[in-house]
Structure 1
Amino acid sequence: MIKLFRKIRRGLLKENQPNRQVGNFNKYLLYAVGEIVLVVIGILLALQINNWNESRKRNIEEEKLLTALTEDFNENKIRLEEAISKEMDMVRMSKSLIKVMQSDQKKIHPDSIRFWVTSGAKSWWKTEFVTGTYDAMVSSGNINILENDKLKRVLSQFSADIDSGFEDHYESMHYLIEMNKISAEMAPALIHGIQREELGVTTDSKDMNLYVQKLLNNEAYLGLLISKTWLETLRIHYQQKLQGYIDEILSICKSELAE
């Protein structure tokens, strides 16, 4: 393109040469000005092409990050939904056990008690989130490649809430450990028949019922169970909040990729 401009400029110089007495000074001055104009045009074109290339590269990189985030948070959505469902079942069974332990009528079938203990009181769930893409973006500084400020804010809130939620996780685990210590001697009576058969545990049915009754009358176990169940209830609310973040992140990513 610069060659074309030079050809045009030289043609104009020839057309403006009928009066050769003007002198070489004006001729060379016009030539110099023309060269400067051509250089400026060349620089501007090069900058424009470079900016276009950089913008294109940035858009491609952003699309890759949005796609990777979508994959990560689709997996997080599946994991969190599964954990919330299991925790709801756990809380429901723990509440059933609490109700029986607080009741004067403790003539519940031992199998029901065992089921509530193993699937409720002794259960503990923790979602392991996939955060590889976001962590890599933050550590490398590539988070700024994302153009959507709302997406960056929600990602930051999600990450912060994950970090702040571990206190309840570990406190709940502490209660579970203490409950297991109390019920250690009753363990053979509290595990399922399949587990007893697999482990070779033999316990007389009469002794099993006595152990179940002993557990139902243990006030320390009840107190720990109530505390753990309350924490698990709070954890469900906390994880439902994270669920809202995940849905919002996926929605924004989908919208950005569609543009």
Structure 2
Amino acid sequence: MKIFRKLRQKLLSENAPNGTANKLSKYLIYAIGEIVLVVIGILIAVAINNNQQRNILERKEQTYLRGLQNEFETSKSKLTQLIKVNQENYTNAEKILEHTNQAESALSEKEFSNLLFNSFAFDISFNANNSLLNEMINSGSLKDISNDGLRILLTNWGATMEDIARQEFELGEQRVKVLDMFRTDRYSIRTIFAQTNADNGLTLNEQDATVSNLSLLQSLAFENNVLMFHSTSLSTEKTHYLPLMQELDAILNLLKNEIDEE
């Protein structure tokens, strides 16, 4: 700024003519020069401020991106394990169905108990890590994500989780219908615990298992309930969990591309 001012003053002293008109011209040139200098100063200050703000926003975005990457990597790990559990559930349910409505079952009490336990002992629920994402949505910070595609996927994540929860609820309902058949005096959960050594902390042994569950294999209601459970489990994987895994991979790939290497 000082350089511009000195240059302007030098031009005025060298080129300005004499007289009142000349003094007016000199004043106008001086005033215009001052205005130009002020404008230049303002523009420089704005540019510096904008650059600082841009750097702050970029650092803030990088912090969010790294945090989201950690969250979604954890969620992917959880989903991978959940898919394995669900596969174990419907695979064992399928083995049970191979023995329903047969004249004579080839299954022993112990084998049947193991299949029942491995099919219905474990509930299915995807608990994604969304703490940071929820905080960003609630605070309006999702707008700080500059990648439009990534921002759209993150915005839609909540709706995706609601869809997954509805499917898991339906799967849980089908599981309960099978388990409800053991709430009568005809069949025994105690037998399953004793035969599988899954006594849940109780002191049980095989002598305690006085009620056989093998007659369930001749029950049409039992077969129908297991079929519904198997079908819902398979649908949960094919039409919900696998597409969800693809969405997780897409989000993680975008996050990786947007994160600056340190």
Superposed pair shares fold, TM > 0.5: yes
- Distance in 1 (alpha carbons) for counterparts of 2:94 and 2:196: 23
Residues 186 and 215 in structure 1, CA contact (< 8 A), matched pair in contact too: no
Alignment of 1:1-259 (within 5 A): 2-17=1-16, 19-21=17-19, 23-184=22-183, 185-191=187-193, 192-196=195-199, 198-201=201-204, 204=207, 207-208=210-211, 211-237=212-238, 238-258=240-260
Contact map agreement 2:74 2:129 (CA 8 A) in 1: yes
Quote the Cα distance in structure 1 between the aligned partners of 2:146 and 2:31. 44
Q: Is the 8 A contact 1:66 1:257 kept in 2?
A: yes
Contact conserved, 1:179 with 1:221, CA < 8 A, in 2? yes
Give the percent of matched residue pairs that are identical in Structure 1 and Structure 2. 22
| C-alpha distance in structure 2 between counterparts of 1:149 and 1:105, whole Å | 62
RMSD over aligned Cα atoms: 2.1
Give the distance between the partners of 1:123 and 1:111, measured in 2 at CA.
Answer: 19
CA distance in structure 1 between the aligned counterparts of 2:52 and 2:42, rounded to whole angstroms? 15
Cα offset, 1:174, TM superposition = 1.9
Does 51-60 or 179-188 show the bigger shift?
179-188
Q: CA deviation at 1:144?
A: 1.4
**TM-score, normalization by structure 2:** 0.89
* 1:202-249 deviation digits (Å, cap 9, x = unpaired): 5537734xx222222232222211111111111112111110011111
Which residue type is aligned with residue 214 of structure 2?
Q
Residues 55-64 or 165-174, more deviating: 165-174
Deviation at 1:197, TM superposition (A): 8.7
TM-score by length of 1: 0.90
Q: Structure 1 regions of 5+ residues with no counterpart?
A: none
Distance 1:225 1:123, change over 3 A: farther
Higher helix content, 1 or 2: 1
Query: Hey, what's the Cα distance between the residues in 2 that align with 1:180 and 1:206?
Result: 18
Q: CA-to-partner distance for each residue in 1:85-120, whole Å, 9 max, x for gaps?
A: 111111100100111123333121222111110111
More deviation in 214-223 or 24-33? 214-223
Inter-partner Cα distance in structure 2 for 1:224 and 1:76: 31
Moved more, 219-228 or 92-101: 219-228
Contact 1:121/1:225, CA 8 A, preserved across alignment = no
Would you say the 8 A contact 2:102–2:218 is kept in 1? no
Distance 1:35 1:234, change over 3 A: same
